[in-house]
Amino acid sequence: MLFSKNKGGKIKFIQAHLKESVDYTMNPCRGFYMIHTFTLDKKPDINDLEWSVDRKARFAMAIVNISAAGADPLTETHIGYIRRILNFFRENEYSIIFRAVYDHEGKAMEKEPENFKTVLTHIGQIGDIVKEYDDIIFVYQGLLIGNWGEMHTSKFLKTEQLEKMADILRERVGDNVYLAVRKPVYFRILHKKQLETATNPEDHMGLFDDGLFGSYTNLGTFGEKDKERRVTGWSNAWRREDELSFEKELCNNVPNGGEIVYGDEEDGGLFRDGNYMNSALVPKFLEDCKTMHLTYLNKNHDVRAWELFKGVKMQGSGVWKDMSLYDYMGAHLGYRMLVKKVSLKTDNETPDKVDIDVEIENTGFARMYYDATVYIDYTDKNGNQGRVSLGAGLRSIAPGMSMNKQGSFDAGSGELYISMQRMFDSRRIFFGNESDKEGRVHIGTIEKK
């Protein structure tokens, strides 16, 4: 509590109880998503999409199978269909993960074009569409090829082919959309010129992993050998420990996410053998999630894992004690900004002016990959509502770290609230604290005499 006297009179500040919420925070570009798959052989059914999307999350993945184009470029009709899909998500204020594919049934070798030039034409057209919708597309996954677009079982996996496809995407999509490839080794192949500095990529390329925890190698995402160049080289897969170390550094700057797979015991699955089966071993699992900086996960894939998580209770103390691991995961995927402490100071030389200092901690698994601005709502000396910006910079708060934001305003008696908005579109972002429906956290009361 602050109690001081200046030329404007006595000012008392009573800090509110900054209670953490256990509710799912409906924030953009993070959390659980559902997949919606479309083909270009018929007009997308928006009515079907209307009832099937998750209205609570406002986060989704759109997979568009473009194989109907065959050996020809995408037609204006095809492009119109894709725009129709993306317009729905834009109009409903969704953030989306977008993936264009030739196959969504595990038959890429049959569905992919015979001519690589066709692939390059298609990926250029897709890149232009992604650029057009860069206000809603958070991540563009893959390079169009492979079973389910996952960059395996394809005719076009030679290094020079991957490089050509990636170069076209880099040129077309611009700076607002993150790219993602299926394995760390693909990332390294596409960043050979950067070598050891590749983990801060200028092309905003991250990872997606649809084999998370399915086996010791994440179902082939990782290799089984040491990372030393003399053993495997920069362009080969490394063993799990080395790849996780690589992901920890890389995905501190770019997003990572995908699908958790329960895994069969004979495949070395990390669930059936008991590695993550009980509460005592939850910390190890969560540490891996933090190491990979997981930002988004498919909530409907392999429900065995999610049912397991729903039955495991969190240990320790605090608001998460006895909550399910599933709930904890949902809250901590990606960024989670928590208001930890608020302090006010007065200036005896300036009537009514107060200086505010707010400590904000990121308790999530990853960074906020788009920056946000922090605001304080207050009552001024005339009884009017005012708002002051404490500036941006929240993107720089790494998981487990905190930042102090400061500002000044002329205060009257009234309540203080803090809120934040994404910079490029002013979309509301919720703190991890309990808040009102507008996303404002009550941080204290000023009493002035």
- List the chain pLDDT tens, one digit each, 449 residues: 444 444 455 788 999 999 999 988 889 999 999 999 999 999 999 999 999 998 888 899 999 999 999 999 999 999 999 999 999 999 999 999 999 999 999 999 999 999 999 999 999 999 999 999 999 999 999 999 999 999 999 999 999 999 999 999 999 999 999 999 999 999 999 998 766 666 778 889 999 999 998 888 898 999 987 665 545 677 889 998 999 999 999 999 999 999 999 876 555 555 554 455 555 568 888 999 999 999 999 998 988 889 888 988 898 889 999 999 999 999 999 999 999 999 999 876 776 789 999 999 999 999 999 999 999 999 998 899 999 999 999 999 999 999 999 999 998 999 999 999 999 999 999 999 999 999 999 999 999 87
Amino acid identity at 288: D
- Give the pLDDT confidence score for residue 6 in this predicted structure: 47
Amino acid identity at 310: K
Q: What is the Rg, in whole angstroms, of the alpha carbon atoms belonging to the chain?
A: 24
Phi and psi of 240, rounded to 5°? -55, -50
Classified as helix, coil or strand, 382 is: coil
- Provide CATH 3.20.20 ranges for the chain: 31-315
Amino acid identity at 300: N
236 token code pair? 């080969």
- Give the pLDDT confidence score for residue 373 in this predicted structure: 98
- Give the pLDDT confidence score for residue 285 in this predicted structure: 87
- Outline where 176-239 has alpha helix (H): 184-189
Amino acid identity at 30: R
Query: Tokens 């399915």 identify what position?
Result: 214
- pTM value? 0.92
> What strand order describes the sheet that includes 353-362?
337-346, 353-362, 402-410
2-6 and 428-429 as β-strands: parallel, antiparallel, unpaired?
A: unpaired
- Give the pLDDT confidence score for residue 39 in this predicted structure: 97
Interatomic CA distance for residues 257 and 426, integer angstroms: 25
Apex CA 119: angle with CA 117 and CA 120, to 5°?
Answer: 65
Phi and psi of 131, rounded to 5°? -60, -40
What is the end-to-end Cα distance of the chain in Å, rounded? 16
Class of domain 31-315: alpha beta
Residue 288 · residue 256 · CB < 8 Å: no
260 token code pair? 């958790």
| Domain boundaries 2-21+335-448, corresponding CATH code | 2.60.40.10
- Provide CATH 2.60.40.10 ranges for the chain: 2-21+335-448
- DSSP β-bridge partners for residue 90: none
Interatomic CA distance for residues 371 and 417, integer angstroms: 20
